[in-house]
Chains A and B, each alone.
Chain A
Amino acid sequence: MYGNDFPAGDAPGGGLLDEVEAAEAALREAAERGRRGATAGEDLAAYFAEVIDADQKIEPRDWMPEAYRKTLIRQIAQHAHSEIIGMQPEGNWISRAPSLKRKAILLAKVQDEAGHGLYLYAAAETLGVSRDELVDLLLSGRQKYSSIFNYPTLTWADVGAIGWLVDGAAIVNQVPLCRCSYGPYARAMIRVCKEESFHQRQGYEILHTLAHGTPAQKAMAQDAVDRWWYPSLAMFGPPDSDSTHSAQSMAWKIKRFSNDELRQRFVDMCVQQAEVLGLTIPDPALRWNDERQAYDYTQPDYDELMRVIKGEGPCNRQRMEHRRRAHAEGAWVREAAAAYAAKQRNKEKVAA
């Protein structure tokens, strides 16, 4: 891992990383205690319910309700698509990174995201769908990716803000997924969360350096936080009152906390970190509520979120066009690789 060479003292991510490790330990423990001797008998649905109830993992070979399978495919695929599309806004700054060290860290980070995408597509494939099918669903616009990546990265500080806020929100979202009832997804999330927490620290460290740099650098950092704060809050999805998928996913233990619970957790985490950074969260209503033991805050503009999801964010068209072009321009290369592999197989047959 690149760039993990700064003091851990005031950097974020520690508590969440502990939760990831606890989830990993729980996963091992669940595997060791086995499935209470239960075996899949006649009643497959009862067996499935029992496994979920016992906080055991559903594995690819197990029977599962069709709706459970579909929900997971959709969620894991959209997560994979988000990793792949999410490479673009940050990749935008690789060529202009302001020092060679930052360039190396950013290249490695964008590379990690490609790795997460591949890993998640592989997890989705365990549910009986192919990566090619999923990529087609992305390219044809029938499956979505996280709306946050439809915002532009206008300055270098945006790379820091994405790391701190966007990766931070992603981790808050994903840490509970480490305990998801579907085994391959839970295991993928443990690995992804560990790397994301490095990314978040790197982003935070970029902002910290800028905020303690020249006045122009500090202004750049504040401007980035101003632009990324509300879109990051919107990453947790619509408020609970409007969320369509939540109840069933909670029952299946795919989802463990509501959108609003996770959003609150994120806000509470960011306030102190912003203070250490010396940057201001752009919410005049932000204040500690002693009764709730949490911060009161202004909700993001959910109408804007709906518009961006619908395709009318600043960069939706650009992101999709970029991905389609890369895919189309690579077609002749993929065809050549397939043709070459076929020739090699024929040669081996002849030789044998």
Chain B
Amino acid sequence: MTGPFDFTLRLGDDALIAAQRLGEWSTRAPEMEEDIALANIALDQLGAARLLLTYAGELEGAGRDEDALAYLRDDREFRNCLLVELPNGDFAVTMAKLLFLSAYQVPLYTALAGCADERLAAIGAKARKESAYHLDHASLWVRRLGDGTEESHRRMQAAVDEVWPYTHELFTPDPAAPVDPATLRADFDATVTAVLDEATLTLPQTSWTPAGGRDGVHTEHLSYLLAEMQVLHRAHPGARW
């Protein structure tokens, strides 16, 4: 049974971990304009994460604010999907991750904008516009890379093959949640299929569907990500920044 707290925490953790990974691209992007674009998307995800984690803290009612939730939980307490914690890989892997994440977040936030909870509806209304831009950006790059050079096609196809299995976890049915993820699948599939077709890419045939993030059972990568993210905050208990 998923209450509003668990649901909000999942969404907040998805956005936070995605922001942390995207932030790693800063000063490393393939071109200067892209450095700015990736920072923009990281900032959007971080902004959504802050709203969601703040609200999750209020729903919980135990006095935890956004920073307590971000910095003082261990990996087993994080509820993000595995997709966002995967390492950035090359630019193709990052774009595959962003395409799948945003193709999921657009219908998710759109549905959220119409849900009964006013706070979540307001967050959804704001975030869906940002996610639409993320989806545009990722789609453009997936088309460029898929239908660019032989080298970029090879890399983009490899990235889709690598990341695709992690998308199934996003749609695990949860009828009690404010938005049941299973209801988002058709929209996601239609978006992704259209982009991949245009990019001359194909979906891999595999029955492997890694999951566990929503229960706090993550990949080995998350603990390292958190170690880096949390190190300074935890070194000064109770300090203000």
Contact = CB atoms under 8 A, between A and B. Distances in A.
Interface of A: 2, 84, 87-88, 91, 94-104, 107-108, 110-111, 114-115, 117-118, 156, 209, 213-214, 216-217, 322, 326, 329-337, 339-340, 343
Given A96-B228, A96-B229, A336-B152, A118 B32 contact: yes
A110 B26 contact: yes
Q: Taking each of A84, A110, A214, A333, which has the highest tally of chain B beta carbons within 10 Å of its own beta carbon? A: A333
B208 interface: no
Q: Taking each of B27, B53, B149, B239, which has the highest tally of chain A beta carbons within 10 Å of its own beta carbon? A: B27
Interface in B64-94: 66-67, 70-71, 90-91
A103 B233 CA distance: 12
Contact of B91 (A100, A107, A216, A330): A330
9 contacts: A98-B71, A98-B239, A216-B236, A326-B29, A332-B149, A332-B151, A335-B148, A335-B149, A339-B148
A209 B240 CA distance: 7
Nearest to A338: B148
Contacts of A110: 26-27, 39
B40 interface: yes
Given A94-B23, A216-B236, A332-B155, A100 B36 contact: no
A330 B29 contact: yes
Q: Taking each of A108, A111, A322, A335, which has the highest tally of chain B beta carbons within 10 Å of its own beta carbon? A: A111
A91 B26 contact: yes
Given A114-B32, A209-B240, A95 B229 contact: yes
B240 A213 contact: yes
Contacts of A103: 19, 23, 46
A114 B240 contact: no
A104 B26 CA distance: 13
A331 B149 CA distance: 12
B228 A108 contact: no
Q: Taking each of B49, B151, B231, which has the highest tally of chain A beta carbons within 10 Å of its own beta carbon? A: B151
Contacts of B155: 332
Interface of B: 16, 19-20, 23-24, 26-36, 39-40, 42-43, 46-47, 49-50, 53, 66-67, 70-71, 90-91, 143-145, 147-149, 151-152, 155, 228-229, 231-233, 236, 238-241
- Interface majority SS (helix, strand, loop, mixed), chain A: helix
A115 B27 contact: no
Given A100-B50, A101-B50, 9 more contacts: A87-B35, A88-B27, A94-B26, A98-B241, A100-B53, A103-B19, A216-B239, A335-B151, A339-B148
Contacts of B40: 111
B31 A111 contact: no
A156 B232 contact: yes
A217 B236 contact: yes
A333 B31 contact: yes
A115 B32 CA distance: 8
A343 B147 contact: yes
B38 to A, nearest CB: 9
Contacts of A84: 32
A117 B32 contact: yes
- Interface majority SS (helix, strand, loop, mixed), chain B: helix
B144 A111 contact: no
Nearest to B238: A214
Contacts of A326: 27-30
Contacts of B240: 209, 213
Ordered nearest first, which 9 A-B pairs have the shortest CB separation?
A330-B30, A336-B148, A336-B152, A333-B30, A111-B39, A340-B144, A98-B241, A99-B241, A91-B27
A152 to B, nearest CB: 15
Given A333-B145, A336-B152, A100 B46 contact: yes
B43 A104 contact: yes
Nearest to A325: B28
Nearest to B91: A333
Contacts of B144: 336-337, 340
Contacts of A94: 23-24, 26
Contact of B152 (A108, A115, A335): A335
Contacts of B30: 326, 329-331, 333-334
